[in-house]
Amino acid sequence: MTWRIHYLHFMALNLKIFKTRAITGLIFAAVVLLGLLWNEWSFLILLSVIHFGCWSEYQKLIGLIDPGYARISFLHRYGVMVVGWAIMLHFASSDFRILTISLHTLGNWLGLVVLVALAALEVIFIAKIDWRNIGYSVLGLAYISLSLGLFTSLRSTYPSGSLEYVDKMLVLMIVASIWINDTMAYIVGSLIGRTPLTSISPKKTWEGTIGGIVLSIVVMGIVGYRINELDWAVIVQWMIIAAIASIAGTFGDLLQSKIKRMAKVKDSGHLLPGHGGFLDRFDSLLIAAPFVWLYVHLFSS
């Protein structure tokens, strides 16, 4: 009887958490989908907000891990964010323009000018250059800015071959695969999870992780079948994209969990109740996007 009471209490607690996550998740998903689907400008604005939000939290977390990084100059702190944003613009379609200047060209010049100015001002005003802090920022550029840049590239540029995608379909596939994987992993893990996946994230189980990945592949395969009917070559591509996004996304989640453990915090920020901050929400995407980009550009033609 005592065991049953504890079990029911545990299940009720999980359902309460799941309800909070589901409601805020739906609101969040609606905002993200609006940004993805409306037009290229809404997509760029959405990713720009995500970019600067992730950078703010990344710098806070690294500062907690290494207090020396918390003392970087104002120029370093915000200059590297602008350089990262320029990297994002570099990957925008050359047809995406402000007046007569493409965002691709604007990104190239903005990044070059800010990087040179930042380096010169740091040398002039900072007595000693801390290469470790520069290394942290370079890692941030690769982890956040390059990843979102490659995601931007997937929004508008596709190679020829068996991937029959138009416009926003590919980025929707990635986001949907990650969302299905996260949701199903949580449900399956809560119901039948027994074997811990890793000490980095104690609540994750092998059962939940495998279940989330498999169900993501299956669901995306069914959706691909409904949209493409009997074009099995395209359906298989949908399933491969789902597998890459789900597996890489899981590693992205674990990487962020490791960073938070090192920083000794529960969440990277407080973007939404039950969902944490920007990095908590987009950690999977930051790792999944580069791997999907590599697959699309190297192995699908």
**Is 241's pLDDT higher than 50?**
yes
User: Would you place residue 207 in the very low, low, confident or very high pLDDT band (cuts 50, 70, 90)?
Assistant: very high
Q: What is the pLDDT of residues 48-79, one digit of tens each?
A: 999 999 999 999 999 999 999 999 999 999 99
Residue 118 has pLDDT above 90, yes or no: no
pLDDT(288) > 60: yes
Q: In the predicted model, is pLDDT for residue 8 greater than 60?
A: no
| pLDDT tier, 23 (very low <50, low <70, confident <90, very high otherwise) | low
pLDDT score, position 63: 97
Model pLDDT, residue 30: 76
Top-ranked range on mean pLDDT: pick from 2-6, 183-187, 215-219, 271-275: 215-219
Beta bridge partners of 196: 205
Q: Which two tokens stand for residue 269?
A: 């920020």
pLDDT(19) > 90? no
What is the mean pLDDT of the segment spanning 132-146?
Answer: 97
Residue type, 260: K
Q: What is the pLDDT of residue 160?
A: 46
In percent, the amount of the chain with pLDDT more than 70 equals 83
Q: What is the pLDDT of residue 133?
A: 94
Q: With beta carbons less than 8 A apart as the criterion, state whether 81 and 48 touch.
A: no
Residues 57 and 277: their CA atoms lie apart, in Å, by: 8
Each residue's pLDDT tens digit, 143-196: 999 999 999 998 876 554 445 554 568 888 899 999 999 989 988 998 898 899
Residue 116 buriedness (CB in 10 A; 0-12 / 13-18 / 19+): exposed
What is the pLDDT of the chain when averaged over all its residues? 84
Whole-number Å distance between alpha carbons of 186 and 169: 26
Cα end-to-end span (Å), the chain: 61
pLDDT band, residue 298 (cuts 50/70/90): confident
Alpha helices in the chain (DSSP H): 2-37, 40-65, 67-70, 74-90, 103-125, 131-140, 147-156, 169-192, 206-228, 232-263, 278-298
Mean pLDDT score, 17-46:
75
Q: Look at the block and give the residue holding tokens 């969902």.
A: 275
Interior CA angle at 48 toward 93 and 84, to 5°?
80
Q: What is the pLDDT of residue 163?
A: 53
pLDDT for position 9:
40
Helix/strand/coil for 98: strand
Residue with the larger pLDDT of the pair 136 and 2: 136
**Residue 251 CB-density burial (10 A; 0-12 exposed, 13-18 middle, 19+ buried):** middle
Q: Report the pLDDT value the prediction gives residue 150, as an integer from 0 to 100.
A: 95
What gap in Å lies between CA 229 and CA 164, rounded to an integer? Answer: 13
Nearest alpha-carbon partner for 263 in 128, 136, 79: 136
Type of residue at 220: M
Global confidence as pTM? 0.88
Average pLDDT over residues 201-221: 93
Angle subtended by helix axes 232-263 and 278-298, to nearest 10: 140
**What per-residue confidence (pLDDT) applies to 15?**
64
